[in-house]
Amino acid sequence: MRQALLIIDMQHFVADRIEQGIEYYPENCIENMQRVLEQFRQAGKPIVHVRHQSAEQGSLFHESSPSSLPLASFQALAEEPVFIKSTSSAFSSTELFAYLQTARISELVVIGAVVGFCINSSVRAGSDLGLKMTVVKDAVISFELDQYQLGAAQIHNVTLALLDADFASVIASSELQVSP
């Protein structure tokens, strides 16, 4: 089973929300994501980036919006493919699955944003496609949904529990084993 790292939506909108004071969880998730990315790079393992874009002018995710740009520490290296999605799932509006099949990758380790949205959709879709999905629970980010009185930790924990129940293995970054 060939393993790859899947980085979802690590774009400036994440930093923007944090800077705006929107509650997020876990507090050390960005550092953990950077550490997991470095583990994969040092091991020479495949790394795949997925970013959200919208064709809608004025959208936070429109390609002209600074919020849609990748965060500096999550820029893809030349050999790391980038897939641009227009849907919540990394699979439904991209050629990601075809790429994984061609590269004979059958296991994805998932980090990135946002747990209750694109992480959730992508992990479920990947599992439905027969991929072995692993979510690094302290290397994915959740934001509060204040209008629903749902805290970031609550959303994070419930979503990951549901994924762990039937769609993925959910592990801490300290449990992740990446070997060349």
Chain centroid, CA 113 distance in Å: 5
Q: Which residues of 60-89 are buried (b: 16+ CB within 10 A; e: fewer)?
A: ebeeebeebebbeebeeeeebeebebeebb
Q: pLDDT band for position 36 (50/70/90)?
A: very high
The distance in angstroms from the start CA to the end CA of the chain is 13
Residue 180 pLDDT exceeds 90 = no
Whole-number pLDDT of residue 179? 80
Average pLDDT over residues 91-120: 98
pTM: 0.97
Domains and CATH numbers, the chain: 2-175 (3.40.50.850)
Q: What is the pLDDT of residue 178?
A: 93
Closest CA to 132 of 167, 111, 107, 109: 107
> What is the per-residue pLDDT across 42-78, written as a single tens digit (0 to 9) for each?
999 999 999 999 999 989 999 999 999 999 999 999 9
Give the pLDDT mean for 27-53. Answer: 98
pLDDT for the residue 1? 72
Task: Tell me the average pLDDT across 27-56.
Answer: 97
